[in-house]
Amino acid sequence: GIIILDFGSQYNQLIGRRIREFGVYSEILPYYTPIEDILIHEPKGIILSGGPSSVNAEDAHLIERKIYELGIPILGICYGMQLTSKLLGGEVTEGKKGEYGKSEFNIIKDNAIIKDLPKNSTVWMSHFDEVSTLPDGFELIGKSTNSIACIANDEKKIYAVQFHPEVSHTEHGSSLIKNFVFDICNCEKNWELTDFIQTEIKRIQKVVGNKKVILGLSGGVDSSVAAVLINKAIGNQLTCIFVDTGLLRKDEGDKVMEIYGEHFNMNIKRVDAQERFFFKLKDIEDPERKRKIIGNEFVYVFDEEARKIENVDFLAQGTIYPDVIESQSVKGPSAVIKSHHNVGGLPKEMNLQLLEPLRELFKDEVRKIGVELGIPEKLVYRHPFPGPGLGIRVLGAVDEEKVSILQEADSIFIEELYKNNLYDKVSQAFVVLLPVKSVGVMGDERTYEYTAVIRSANTIDFMTATWSKFSYEFLELVSNRIINEVKGINRVAYDISSKPPATIEWE
Ligand code: XMP
């Protein structure tokens, strides 16, 4: 496969993803990996990633020059191009104004690396330094508006681009990477997610040895897939801690135990912490305070349980690639709209090492792996569920009674979505319980009960969303069932707000 040497660019995981989409294995290693260790992977090509620093800085991230003499094709991207130029006798200088964002790429000379690219196209740039003198033996292949954008040494099979072919804003970036991978490195398509499973199992076994691992199992896709995968690798050296906060969906706790505990025979410690959560949440109405309380309490409970397990060395987490980007973002702290919380605090003094087998995967890949590992598709393709759970879907003060009313209503809605073949047509659907009581009439009796709201969103990235256009008949069916079957609700409303300006959740 292809080895990507990581110089710290926020995009380098994308390079790996692009290559894997072509069906070729790729792995990301830190730039300081010794050459012998790189060679163990028998790479057919090496990519030098972008990075935030300057090759002229005193403490610049460097590599051994020898890497260019191995006979293995190399593609330098951004910083990787500047590094290649500097190490091979070219010159890199501080540009006058740098280039950030879209730029035009003009091809000057034909070359295998730019095969099938049009003469002019849009590329994504993010650099300040630039190559001012070409390194020895290199030809100029293309320029951008302000700088040298593509160079090549065909004899040594060394290529470099100043722009980022891995980001989608670079129009033909994918073709460029494809040219490198297939035409220049002669890779074959042989990477499948099943290979990922096998490789990852071996890696986990090697890293963990005979030590112990704990994992916070939430029942969500990511932590479940991570748990099953790690369990496949090391069996009962893994202990899962499943905290039942009392804020989960109807029967969720039992279902988690049934599938993961019994079916997969995993070592799961179920912690019934409902009372603690309800106690802490008593009379708290402010959404942000509720979120903080739930998040903190979760960490306390998890900590306490983790400490009871002796000789643990690793904390496993279902971190996936989008979580990694979010936490690495160089954009700086954007305004907190809602404080998100995810499962798994890290007990500090326990000095645990992190084990994150899914950190290079996207959600769709994680789902495919889940199915491959034997987790029922219905679970793997479930809608997302927020960390604070029903705690933010019972609006205002949360108590056990309200949660249980909401659980009943929600499970009816979800059941009807499945029955009517609508579940997979919407991105996220749930019921919200309002602290509003209104008057109704049932039989000859006057009622005075809560109002439930049906919420369903269609979205690609959860950043923007529209409300689902269900038929009146379907809405009527759900409303009738909820009002008739759930004690405590006598009125149902449908949320027809888009995001923005509304959010998907109500709190
Ligand atoms: P909003 O309400 O911000 O939600 O439009 C966008 C998506 O994020 C989910 N969400 C959360 N997920 N922890 C999570 O893991 C949280 O604290 C959290 N809050 C919201 C929400 O369900 C929707 O999918």
Residue nearest to atom 12 of ligand 1 (CA): 386
- Answer yes or no: are the C-beta atoms of 192 and 221 closer than 8 Å: no
90 marked as part of a ligand binding site: no
Catalytic machinery residues: 78, 164, 166
Using a 6 Å cutoff on CB, does residue 500 contact ligand 1?
Answer: no
* Ligand 1 atom index nearest CA of 337: 3
Is 2-184 in CATH node 3.40.50.880? Answer: yes
* Ligand 1 atom index nearest CA of 428: 24
Using a 6 Å cutoff on CB, does residue 323 contact ligand 1?
Answer: no
**Residue 349 pLDDT level (bands cut at 50, 70, 90):** low
Q: What's the CA-to-centroid distance between 204 and ligand 1, angstroms?
A: 30
* Average pLDDT of the segment spanning 38-42: 94
What does the DSSP 8-state code read for residue 394? B
Give the pLDDT score at 262. Answer: 96
**What span, in angstroms and rounded, lies between the C-alpha atoms of 482 and 454?**
10
Helix (H) or strand (E) holding 254: helix 252-256
- Dig out the tokens for 173 from the structure: 């970036």
Is 193-380 in CATH node 3.40.50.620? Answer: yes
Is 393-494 in CATH node 2.30.42.10? Answer: no
Note the Cα 468 to chain centre separation in Å: 25
Bridge partners, 101 (sequence order): 125
Amino acid making up residue 388: P
DSSP H helices in 9-142:
12-21, 35-40, 79-87
CA nearest 506: which of 448, 426, 451?
Answer: 451
Domain boundaries, the chain: 2-184, 193-380, 393-494
Using a 6 Å cutoff on CB, does residue 212 contact ligand 1?
Answer: no
Which mutation among 248, 462, 499 tests ligand 1's pocket best, with the greatest number of atoms within 8 A of CB?
462
Q: β-pairing, 45-48 with 91-107?
A: unpaired
**Residue 346 pLDDT level (bands cut at 50, 70, 90):** low
**What span, in angstroms and rounded, lies between the C-alpha atoms of 99 and 176?**
20
CA quadruple 454, 259, 251, 219: dihedral sign: negative
Do 2-184 and 193-380 agree at the fold level?
Answer: yes
Q: Has the ipTM of the complex gone over 0.90?
A: yes
The answer, as to whether pTM is greater than 0.80, is no
**Residue 10 pLDDT level (bands cut at 50, 70, 90):** confident
* Ligand 1 atom index nearest CA of 503: 5
**Residue 168 pLDDT level (bands cut at 50, 70, 90):** confident
- Answer yes or no: are the C-beta atoms of 195 and 25 closer than 8 Å: yes
- Residue 328 above 70 pLDDT? no
- Dig out the tokens for 268 from the structure: 């799961």
* Average pLDDT of the segment spanning 323-328: 60
Render pLDDT for 197-220 as a digit per residue (tens, 0 to 9).
999 999 999 999 999 999 999 999
* Residue 484 backbone phi and psi in degrees, to 5: -75, -35
Give the pLDDT score at 176. Answer: 98
Render pLDDT for 149-167 as a digit per residue (tens, 0 to 9).
999 999 999 999 999 999 9
Using a 6 Å cutoff on CB, does residue 428 contact ligand 1?
Answer: yes
* Ligand 1 atom index nearest CA of 499: 5
49 marked as part of a ligand binding site: no
Buried b (16+ CB within 10 A) or exposed e, 249-274: bbebbeebbebbbeebebbbbbbebb
Cβ-based neighbour number of residue 466 at 10 Å: 14
Residues with Cβ within 8 Å of 424's Cβ and at least 6 positions away in sequence, in order, are 381
Using a 6 Å cutoff on CB, does residue 495 contact ligand 1?
Answer: no
- Answer yes or no: are the C-beta atoms of 238 and 224 closer than 8 Å: no
Who wins on pLDDT, 296 or 344?
Answer: 296
Who wins on pLDDT, 112 or 324?
Answer: 112
Q: What's the CA-to-centroid distance between 387 and ligand 1, angstroms?
A: 8
Cβ-based neighbour number of residue 225 at 10 Å: 27
Give the pLDDT score at 332. Answer: 31
